[in-house]
Amino acid sequence: MSKQDADIIGKALQQPASLAKRLPALPARGGIPSSTAKGNAAQPAITATGSGIDSPLTESSRTNYGTTYVTTSDGLFSIAFTAVKQLTMKDAANRTVIFNYQEPAA
């Protein structure tokens, strides 16, 4: 390797002067002073006036969308599935609970 080649490689490996500059140091600032606070949580009383769902839920019936076929990206396999359309359940108080599901995108 010639001296000229070594000089070219040496210059290429050096950092440019703009990268060697550093940001100016900031003056030190004080921390946040400690403080103490007190909070009083006033939660409203819970009333049992709603008509919620009593668990456990027991499935009584279901309806499905039509069969959907999904092919893998390589085209070798097709998977068939039927998505749930509506699920009807009974809760502990024998009330009917209906879950309606959106049809999945193809």
Give residue limits of the domains in the chain. Answer: 54-106
Write out pLDDT tens, residues 70-106: 999 999 999 999 999 999 999 999 999 999 999 988 6
Write out pLDDT tens, residues 23-79: 888 888 887 788 888 888 887 777 766 678 888 999 999 999 999 899 999 999 999
CA distances from 45 to 11, 33, 52 (A): 77, 37, 17
Confidence (pLDDT) at 20? 63
Confidence (pLDDT) at 106? 64
